[in-house]
Structure 1
C-alpha cells in the first residue's frame, strides 16, 4: 500500500495525483487547482490544523475523490465570475450558513435584513418560491445535495468548509397534489458526478428516473441567460461539476 503523509509544507497538485492512503498532518497544505484531480483509493485523514483545498475556475473545477473513509475537513472554492445570481450547492456536509454569509471574503449581498442566499420552496406561490435567509444565526448548515440561489457584491470565490461526503446522498423532496413540482438540487461532492448515460452507466438520471415525472425525465440547468437548459438521457456526454445545481 502506498501512503502519502504531508507535514508542514505546501504541495501544488497537477493533472492527476493518486494514492492508496492519504494523511495531512498539522500545518500540511494541499491545493488542488482547477482542472486537476486527487484520487485516494483508500482512506483520507486531515488533521484539524491541516488543509486540503479544492479549487474551481470560471469554466471548470478540480476534483477530490476518496473511496474509503474521509476524516477531517476540506475547503472547496467556487469561483464566481460576475455579480449575477448563481445557483450553488455545498460540496461539504457541515458548512454553517451563518458562518458562510458573515465571512466577508464571500461578499454575500444583502437587502435590509435579507442575505442573498435562498432556498427554493415549491409549495409557495410563484412570486415567493425563493426563501431568503434573514436570521442567519438560526439557519443551521447547508443541506448536502440541495441547491441555493446566491449573489455576491464582487467577483471572487465562495469558500465552503466542512466534512467531505463520500457516500450516497439522498434529498427528500416535499410535494403535494396540485403543487408546483420543481426542486433545486445540486452536486453534493467535491468531484464531477456523471449526469447521464453518455457519461457513465451509473448516473444521476438512471438512478432517479423512477421518481421523476416520465414526461420530464431530464436535467434542467440555469445558464444565466435562458431559464432552462434541457439535458435528456439520450444526448450528450455530461458530468456535473462540484456544487453545480440542477432542477
Structure 2
C-alpha cells in the first residue's frame, strides 16, 4: 500500500486570532447602548437611580482603561473586577448581589453587537487543516469571557474547525504576553518555534508572537505598514498561501 503523503504543514501549528481576524466586532454602539440600559435597569431595581451620563461615563471609562492595560501590558482583568470598578467609579459600593446581577449584561452585551463572520474564514481554515496544520484559536477577552466566546464560535460553525482554543480569560494573561503563545504551544503539544500566529493587531498579535519565538502573518485589510519580514494579507483567502510561505 502506498503511504499517504504528509501535508506541507504537517508539523506546524497555526494559531488564529478571533476578533477582527475571523469575525467582525459588530455594532459596537448597539453593544454599548444595551449594556448601559441594562445596567441602569438593574441599578434602579437595587435602589440606585443615577443620571444616565454618570452610568454611561463610568462604563465606558472602565472599558477603555481595561482595553488599554490589556493591549500594552497583557494584563487580564477579571470580568468581576471590571464590574466592581465600574460601580466604584459611579460612587457605589460593589456589593456581591449587585455585582452578580450586573455580570450577566456585562458579559453578554457583545451578543447584541451581532458579530459576523469575515468572508473566507471557513475555507481558509479548512485549507490549512487539509495541508496538515493543527489549528488553535487564540483570543484575548475583555468583557466577553471564554464561555460567551464559545457561544459565538458555535453560532458561526467555527468550533469544530479548531483542535484547541486558548482564551486569555482562561490563561489569566493576554496577548502580547509570551504566556499566551506558550499556552498555544502547550495545547498543541509542540514548541513555540513551530507556531505561526495570524492576527490583525501589530501589538498583540504580530509583535507578541514574534517576541515569543513564533512566526506571524498580519491580517491587514486596511493596508497598515507591516514589519519587515512579516507577510501580510488583505483577505482571508490569502491566509493558507501566506502561512505556507512563512513556514517554508
- When normalised by structure 1's length, the TM-score is 0.31
Using CA pairs under 8 Å that are at least 6 residues apart, name the structure with larger relative contact order, 1 or 2: 2
More strand by share: 1
More helix by share: 2
